[in-house]
Amino acid sequence: MKSFLVDRYAKGGALRLGETPLPALRENDVMVEVHAAGVNPLDNKLRDGEFKLILPYRLPLVLGNDVAGVVVRVGAKVRQFKPGDAVYARPAQDRIGTFAEYIAIDAADVAMKPTNLTMEEAASVPLVALTAWQALVERANVQKGQKVLIHAGSGGVGTMAIQLAKHLGAYVATTTSTANIALAKSLGADVVVDYKHDDFEKVLQGYDVVLNSLGRDTLEKSLHVLKPGGKLISISGPPDPDFARQNGSGWLLRQVMRLLSLGIRRKSNRRKISYSFLFMTANGGQLAKITSLIEAGAIRPVLDRVFPFEKTNEALDYVETGRAKGKVVVTVK
């Protein structure tokens, strides 16, 4: 099958289009014919080698972390899916590879595709929607009436998180550029801070939750927005000791992560704020709940551009500019 591969880690390096064997089908797996694959900043970071200590892949590696397609085979123990089912998923981190014609995925990580979405729209959803769900529902336990700040509201995670927070009944603020204010408001944001003209930490206060996807400067400024007892959740780092334990990292790597996050954890503690790093995980059950929200019209994907499969490298380059509104997708079939 045709696949896009990382042969060696290199900043901004191109993936190689090559032939790879069909993945092995385990007894709890479904084999999915890939129709479309989402492109995420995570793909660029993996290609660049930014996570090679945390996620030690064997190279060459088929890249890609989002998929929508059709089940063609199922493992011996799979009962919930059958050939012909239209599905979507974020594969488990150790089994990525959606920039290919086929992928084998554990059935527990798969959900039926929303009936009201195209394959391209569906492929844009899993990673960012699960990130928003795990941050706002699982970790922050956002309640009706709480105040939530979501940074980078026009990005992939931001566009989903704004809508999910509004569905949960929160009062939602977001940061974005002048060009994307209308988009953020259309998604339900109550307050939109134009970072080109205003400092968010000077105009926002008394927030319960901040979801950060930007750099350390934004992370530390976010402390001024939160009230005591608030939660600062970052998907862009730095990783903390809890993540190191969940990731099964060795002693040395655990110490490195402890030191990397020591500064922000100390500053958070002084303000009686909890800091945590979130690295989202595959979860078909949560994705099924997201499917219900999409089919009910509570959440919609925001799709910026669709590239043909052979232009996957161009899609990665476009994502790396940071200018995409919502998500970028490649059509495989």
**CA-CA-CA-CA torsion for 141, 282, 244, 276, nearest 10 degrees?**
-20
Task: Assign 131 a pLDDT band (cuts: 50, 70, 90).
Answer: very high
Of the two residues 318 and 243, the one the predictor is more confident about is 318
Closest residue by Cα to residue 309 from 138, 150, 102, 131: 102
Rounded mean pLDDT of the chain? 96
- Token output for 187: 């998604």
Task: Assign 246 a pLDDT band (cuts: 50, 70, 90).
Answer: confident
Tell me the pTM: 0.97
Task: Assign 147 a pLDDT band (cuts: 50, 70, 90).
Answer: very high
Cβ proximity of 30 and 91 under 8 Å: no
Residue 244 has pLDDT above 90, yes or no: no
Domains in the chain, start-ordered, CATH in brackets?
2-125+301-331 (3.90.180.10), 127-277 (3.40.50.720)
Average the pLDDT over 188-198 and give the result.
97
Task: Assign 54 a pLDDT band (cuts: 50, 70, 90).
Answer: confident
- Token output for 13: 């390096």
Residues for the chain: how many in total?
A: 333
pLDDT in tens, 258-306: 999 999 999 999 999 999 999 999 999 999 999 999 999 999 999 999 9
- Token output for 191: 């307050």
For 140, half-sphere exposure in the C-beta direction (CA atoms, 13 angstrom radius) is 35
- Token output for 270: 């002084």
Cα 4 to Cα 326: distance, rounded to the nearest angstrom = 23
Crossing angle of helices 312-320 and 41-48, rounded to 10°: 100
Cα 266 to Cα 275: distance, rounded to the nearest angstrom = 9
